Structure 1
Amino acid sequence: MLRAFFRTEAGGTTVLLVATVVALLWANSPWGDSYEAFWHINTGLSFGDAHFMLDLRHWVNDGLMAVFFFLIGLEVSYEVRLGQLRDRRLLAVPAVAAFGGMLVPAAVYLALNFGGPGASGWGVPIATDTAFVLGVLAVVGARCPEPLRAFLLTLAIVDDVLAIMIIAIFYTDSLALPALLTAVVLLAAILTLRWLKIWRAPAYIVLGFALWVATLESGIHPTLVGIALGILVFVYAPTDHKLLLAGEAVQGFTSSPTAEAAREATRRVQRAVSVNERLQLRLHPWSSYVIVPIFALANAGVRLDGETLSAAMTSPIAIGVALGLVLGKFVGIALGTWLPLRLKWGVLPGNLVWGQLLGGAAVSGIGFTVSLFIVDLAFDDSALHDQAKIGILAGSLLSAVLGWVIFRLAWDRGGVCAPPDAEPSEDLPKTLAVPVGPADHVRGPAKAKITIVEYGDFECPYCGRLQPILEEVRRSNPDVRVVFRHFPIRTLHPRAAPAAIVAEAAADQGRFWEMHDILYANQRFLTDADLEHYAAQLDVDPWTDVPRHVARIAVDEESGQASGARGTPTLFLNGVRYEGGHDLDSLTRAVEDLRESA
C-alpha cells in the first residue's frame, strides 16, 4: 500500500506543480483580474424555493477537498488496522515528531505575530504537504531509503489528522445548532447502516452528501465529514475463505474462459479485498491528478508585483509563515524524533541515520495544500491573504532546497551500508580469508563450480534488494551456489544482530534459508515481537542458546573483517572480492566470465 501511495502521490506532484505555476501566471498576467472574478462565480443547486449557492472557490475548498480528506480518513483507517500505525513502537516516534512539527512552527509564527492582525494565521505553517514532499524524495532518489519514506508517510498521516482537528476546533467561527443536530442524525444513520451491514453505495452517497451540506450549514468545516466517513469505511485483511473462493473462481475462468466466469472471478477477487483498499486505489489518482491540482489552481494565484513583494518582505505574516515552515518544521521534527528515541518510547523503521532524518525534517517544511486551505479560513483581508501565500511559497521553496542540500551532504555510500569510519587507510584484502566450509549456510549444489559468498545484514536495504537477484542468478545457473555470512552493522542497524540470532536459531532446525527469506521480506518489521512471530511460523524457539549463536555470528564477522568486508552487501565470487554492480545483468556477466575462464 505504501509503495502504491508513493508512486501515485509523487507522480501527481508534477501536475500539482504545473497547476501552481499556471495559477501564478494567470494572477500576474494582463488578465489577472479575471483570476479572482472567475473563482467568485456563484453556482449552486435549487430545490423549489430552496437555494444552495457557493462560489467556485468554495465548491473546490469545501466540496472537492472533502473528497481529499475522505481519502486521508481511508489511509488512517487502513494504517491503524493493517499498516504502519498498528505497531505502537513504530508509531510513537513519527507521532511525536509530527506534534513537534506543528507546535514549534506555530510558536515561531506567534513570536512575530502575537497580538497583531495576523495572529489568527498561526495554523498556516503547521501542515506538511505530502504530495510535494514525496516529489522531492523522488528527486533525491537512493539517498532517501524506503524506511525514511515510510517514516515520513506515517508522520504526514498524523500531521493531517492533527491539522484537521485544529481546523475543526480553532477555525470554526459560529455554530448553527439545528444544522448541527441534523448532521448528528445523518451520521447516526450512516453508523446504523454500517452496523446493519447494509452496503448499498447509493444510500451512503445520498446520506454522505446530506451530511456534508448539514455540516457546512452548521458552521463546522465539512472537511471533518470527509475524514470521519473515511475512518468509518471497513478495512480488513483477506480471510483464507475469501482467498480460497477467489482462487477457485480464477481457476474456473482459466479452465473455461467465458464472460460469466470472468464476471464471477472479478467479483470474488474484489470481495477478497476490503472496500477501504478498493476506494483508495480508485480515489488516489483522482485526488493526486485532479482534486489537489484544481485546489492549487483556485488558491495559489497571488500577485507578485513590486508592491506586493515589498509588503511581504517586511510583513510579520509572510516572514512568520516562511520561518515557521523552514526553521520551525526542521527544529520541531528533529526534536520530536530525538525525544522519543532518547526516552525509548519507540523505534525507527529500518536503518535510518540522522543525516537522512534531518533531510526528511527539512523537506517536511513544504507546506502547501493544507496551508493554503487554512489561509482561506484565517484571513478575510485580501492583502493578508497575499502575504501569507507568499510566505508559503517562499518557505516551501527554501525547505525543498534545504532538504536537498542536507541529503547531498548526508552520508551516502551509493549502494553499500557501512559505518562512517569503515574505510581504513590501508589497502583492503581482495580474497576470501576463510574458505567455505561445513558450518556455512549454503544454498545450491555442494559441488557447484561457482560460489558466491555474501556478507550481509538483515536490516540493510541494499542486501534486501540483492536477495531476489542472487536467487535469480542461482536459478538460472545450476552450477552456482550462494553462501550467506552474517555481517550486522550495529551502529546503523540496531535490529540486525537480533535478526541474525533468530536466523541461527532457525538454522539449528535446518530452516535457516526459510528464516532468511522471511527476514528480508519484512525488513521494516524486526522488533523482538516481530522476530518471535516469524519464529513461531517456523516452530522455532528464537532465544534458546543465544551465547552460542552470538559466537557463531562473531565467527562470520571476523572472517568478513579479515577478508576486507567493511559494509554490506560484500560479495566474493570463487573467493575473489566482487566490485561490480549489484544488478542482475552485472552479476550474470560476472558468473559467465568465471565459467569461461574456468
Structure 2
Amino acid sequence: MVHQLSRPFDAENDILLGEAGGRVEITWYVDYTCPHTRRIRDVLRRSPARFGRDGASVAVRFILPHDDEDGAAFAARAACAAHRQGRFMDMHRALFDVPPSYSTDKVEELARDLDLDLDRFRADMEDADAKLEADRNSLGDTSDLHMPLLFIDGRFYEGAWDETSLIEAIERPLGVRLSLAGNDFFHWAASAGLVLILATLAALVVANIGWHDAYEELRETDFTLMFGARSFALPLEMWVNDGLMALFFLLVGIEIKREFVFGELSDRDRAIMPIIGALGGMIVPALLYTAVNYGGEAAHGWGVPMATDIAFTLGIMALLGNKVPTSLKVFVSALAIADDLGAILVIAVFYGEGFHLTQFLIACGVTGVMAVLAIGRVYNRMPYILLGVVLWYFIHESGLHATLAGVITAAVLPSRRPADGRSVAMQAAAIVDGEEDTENMNDSAVRRLQNAVDRLREPGFHLQEALEAYSNFIILPLFAFFNTGLLIIGSSFSPFAPESLGVMLGLYIGKPLGIVGIVWLATKLGIARLSSEISWVQMIGAGFLAGVGFTMSIFISSAAFEGGQLESVKLAVLITSTAAAITGSLILWFAPKIGGKAE
C-alpha cells in the first residue's frame, strides 16, 4: 500500500526550512530523540542549496514516540515556541547539537543561549500541543511506517537513507518516475483484475473483427525446445496453459502453504470457518452441475464451477473500500485460498491425460530429492527451481496435469519461521560498525548484509516476491488472451446446453448457496463462529463474488473439454462471472444500509 498524507504540504501552517514554492515538496516528521532522524537531517539541510530556491521546499512536522523517556515532547514544543519568535532554525540546530535527552530546564537553557524572550517562550510552549496533535493526525495510520518519516510530494519515502538515493527521489529522473508509477499501479488491489479484463477484451476483439483464423493459428503455433537429436514441442497455447501456469500454481502453492503454516489457516479457530465455506462453495456447484448433466457426455465437467478467481474477487472487494469490513476480506481471502487448494486437487486427480508409470516414478524420484534437500535445510532456492523444471517435464510426460509440478515444488520448499527482526538489525549494525569506510563497504560486508536481510523471511517468500508481478501482469493476462478469444458474433452458444447451463447454475447459484448455507449451518451447530462485523447480507454478497470463476474455471474447462463444448463452457464462465461480480458488488454496496449482523 502506498501511504499518502491525510493533510498535504501546507506552506501557510507548516514550519518551513527555507522558502515555499519549490518544485518538490518535502514533509519531514521530526523526533529530536530519534537517531535515524538525526542522521538524515544533514541531507535535508543541504537540499535547498543543492536544488536552488525553486528546487525543494521542506516542511517540518513533529511526531512523538509512544514511550517518551528522553523528552521528545519538550524538544518539539521548544522548536514550535522558537518559531513564533522567528528563531526556529536556530533552535532546530541547537536541539540537534546537544545529546538527545531533553527537559524543561534543558530547553529553557537553549532558549537563553539564543536570547529568546523566556516568558513568551514558556507561554508558547504551553500552546504548542495543538500543533503537535495536528501534525500527528496528518499522518493517519502509521502502523506500517518507520522512522525517519519523510514524505516527498505527499508520498512516503521508502527508499534507502543514503544521500544519493534521497537526492534521486527528490530530483525524480525518468527511471524514478516510472518506478513510482509502476509501484502505484502494482500495489493497487484491483490492478491484476484490470489487466485480466483488458487481456480478455483484447482476445474477444481480435476473434470477432475478422482475425479469428490468425488468432487460432497463433495459438496452435508450435514452440520447440531442442537438445541434440531430442526435441520437445508444444503449441504456444499449451506452453502458456501447462508451462507458464505452472509458475502461477507455484505461487498459489506458496501462498497456501504460508497460510497453513503461519497465516489465517494456521489457527484452527480462524481456519475452520473459511475451510467450511470453501467446501460448501465447491460441493454445491459440483452437485448442481452434475444434476443438470447426469448421464450425459459432459458430466465430467463438474469441476468447472467449483473454482474462485482470487485476483478478481479480492480486487472487487478492494474497490468497494469501507463498504466491506476487514473481517469479511480476511474470510474471503482464506476461503479463496482453501478453494484453490481444492481446485488443484481436482485438476491433478480428475483432469490428467492418460497415465505413464515410468515417467510418474521418475517424477516421484525428483520429488524425493527435493524433499531430502528440504529436510536437510537447504534454503538456497536455485536447486528447487532447477529440479522443479525437471519435475514439470516428467509430470507432463506421465499424463498428469503439468501444473501439478508447481504445487509440488511449493509444498517441498523448506519452511521456517521469519527471523527475529531485532537480532537481524543488530547484526546489520555490527557489520556496518565493523567497516572502516562505510561509504565504500567491501564486497564481503555487503554479502553478509544481504544474507542477514534475506533471513528475515522464508525462502518461499523471496521466490514469490520475485515472480508475483510476472504472474499477475504477464502470465495470467497471457492465459486470458490465449483462452478467451471466443467467437461471439455468429456464435452457436446456447445457455440451455447442459454443459453451459450446469456451469452457469453452479457459479451463480451454487457458489453463494453453498458458501452461505454451510456457514449458516456451522454457526447454528456451534461448529464455528462468524465475526460480529459481518452481516448475513454481506455474506451473501461475498458468496456471489466467489462465483467469479474466470481464470481457474477456464483453466479447468480447458482440461475437461475441447472443440465446440469448450467454446460454449468458456463463454458460460465469462457471462456468469460478470453477472456474479455485478450482483455481489451491488449487494455489498447496499449491505450496510440493510444490516442484519450474523449471530
Structure 1 match to 2:591: 410
Contact 1:92 1:340 in 2 (8 A): no
Task: Report deviation, 1:279.
Answer: 1.9
Query: Any residues of structure 2 matched to 1:499-518 within 5 Å, and which?
Result: none
Structure 2 match to 1:396: 577
Task: Report deviation, 1:316.
Answer: 2.1
Report whether the alignment pairs 1:324 with 2:503. no
Q: 2:424 aligns with which of 245, 254, 258?
A: 245
Q: 1:29 aligns with which of 190, 194, 209?
A: 209
* Partner deviation per Cα, 1:29-51 (whole Å, 9 max, x = no partner): 21111111101111121222222
Contact 2:384 2:413 in 1 (8 A): no
CA distance in 2, matches of 1:329, 1:375: 17
Amino acid paired to 1:341: T
- Give the superposed CA RMSD: 2.4
CA distance in 1, matches of 2:270, 2:450: 36
Amino acid paired to 2:257: S
Contact 1:89 1:345 in 2 (8 A): no
Distance 1:64 1:46, change over 3 A: same
Q: 2:556 aligns with which of 341, 359, 374?
A: 374
Report whether the alignment pairs 1:120 with 2:300. yes
Distance 1:39 1:368, change over 3 A: same
Report whether the alignment pairs 1:212 with 2:392. yes
* Partner deviation per Cα, 1:137-170 (whole Å, 9 max, x = no partner): 1222211122111101110111011111111111
Contact 1:105 1:325 in 2 (8 A): yes
Contact 1:359 1:404 in 2 (8 A): yes
Report whether the alignment pairs 1:358 with 2:537. no
Distance 1:259 1:350, change over 3 A: farther
Task: Report deviation, 1:253.
Answer: 3.7
Instruction: Answer with 1 or 2: which has the greater Rg.
Output: 2
CA distance in 1, matches of 2:196, 2:353: 30
Q: Which moved more, 1:95-104 or 1:41-50?
A: 41-50
Amino acid paired to 1:277: F
Structure 2 match to 1:282: 466
Q: 1:340 aligns with which of 517, 522, 539?
A: 522
Amino acid paired to 2:271: L
Amino acid paired to 1:411: P
Contact 1:143 1:356 in 2 (8 A): no
Aligned to 1:410, the other structure's residue is in SS state helix
CA distance in 1, matches of 2:404, 2:535: 36
Contact 1:43 1:55 in 2 (8 A): yes
Q: 1:160 aligns with which of 336, 340, 343?
A: 340
Structure 2 match to 1:89: 269
Report whether the alignment pairs 1:270 with 2:454. yes
CA distance in 2, matches of 1:116, 1:177: 30
Contact 1:82 1:236 in 2 (8 A): no
Contact 1:250 1:265 in 2 (8 A): no
CA distance in 1, matches of 2:431, 2:572: 60
Amino acid paired to 1:388: V
Aligned to 1:411, the other structure's residue is in SS state helix
Task: Report deviation, 1:250.
Answer: 4.1
Amino acid paired to 1:79: E
Query: Any residues of structure 2 matched to 1:561-576 within 5 Å, and which?
Result: none
Task: Report deviation, 1:6.
Answer: 10
Task: Report deviation, 1:203.
Answer: 2.5
Structure 2 match to 1:295: 479
Distance 1:7 1:96, change over 3 A: farther
TM-score computed with the length of structure 2 as normaliser: 0.65
* Partner deviation per Cα, 1:245-264 (whole Å, 9 max, x = no partner): 33331465489343435553
Q: Which moved more, 1:164-173 or 1:53-62?
A: 164-173
Distance 1:28 1:259, change over 3 A: farther
CA distance in 2, matches of 1:98, 1:389: 23
Aligned to 2:527, the other structure's residue is in SS state coil
CA distance in 2, matches of 1:56, 1:120: 26
* Partner deviation per Cα, 1:215-259 (whole Å, 9 max, x = no partner): 00000112222112112223333343x641333314654893434
CA distance in 2, matches of 1:280, 1:107: 35
Moved over 6 A (4+): 3-6
CA distance in 2, matches of 1:321, 1:334: 19
CA distance in 1, matches of 2:186, 2:518: 24
Query: When the two structures are aligned, how many residues end up with a matched partner?
Result: 413
Query: Any residues of structure 2 matched to 1:58-77 within 5 Å, and which?
Result: 58-77=238-257
Contact 1:312 1:391 in 2 (8 A): no
Distance 1:93 1:6, change over 3 A: farther
Amino acid paired to 1:148: L
Structure 2 match to 1:305: 489
Amino acid paired to 2:455: R
CA distance in 2, matches of 1:258, 1:251: 16
Task: Report deviation, 1:92.
Answer: 1.0
Amino acid paired to 1:378: A
Report whether the alignment pairs 1:54 with 2:54. no
Segments of 5+ residues of structure 2 without an aligned counterpart are 2-143, 145-182
Distance 1:281 1:354, change over 3 A: same
Task: Report deviation, 1:210.
Answer: 0.9
Aligned to 1:203, the other structure's residue is in SS state helix
Contact 1:90 1:349 in 2 (8 A): no
Aligned to 1:86, the other structure's residue is in SS state coil
CA distance in 1, matches of 2:341, 2:498: 27
Task: Report deviation, 1:73.
Answer: 1.0
Contact 1:151 1:349 in 2 (8 A): no
Task: Report deviation, 1:412.
Answer: 4.5
CA distance in 1, matches of 2:235, 2:338: 31
Structure 1 match to 2:323: 143
Q: 1:197 aligns with which of 374, 377, 380?
A: 377
Contact 1:253 1:262 in 2 (8 A): no
Structure 2 match to 1:525: none
Contact 2:189 2:318 in 1 (8 A): no
Contact 1:77 1:230 in 2 (8 A): yes
Task: Report deviation, 1:373.
Answer: 0.8
CA distance in 2, matches of 1:96, 1:7: 30
TM-score computed with the length of structure 1 as normaliser: 0.65
Contact 2:378 2:414 in 1 (8 A): no
Amino acid paired to 1:293: P
* Partner deviation per Cα, 1:303-346 (whole Å, 9 max, x = no partner): 002342xx323322222211211111110111121122222222
Q: Percentage identity across aligned positions?
A: 37
Segments of 5+ residues of structure 1 without an aligned counterpart are 414-418, 421-490, 495-598
CA distance in 2, matches of 1:314, 1:149: 34
Contact 1:40 1:56 in 2 (8 A): yes
Structure 2 match to 1:315: 497
Contact 1:8 1:288 in 2 (8 A): no
Task: Report deviation, 1:296.
Answer: 0.4
Contact 2:367 2:408 in 1 (8 A): no
Task: Report deviation, 1:268.
Answer: 1.0
Structure 1 match to 2:282: 102
* Partner deviation per Cα, 1:391-450 (whole Å, 9 max, x = no partner): 10111011011101211331249xxxxx77xxxxxxxxxxxxxxxxxxxxxxxxxxxxxx
CA distance in 1, matches of 2:188, 2:361: 38
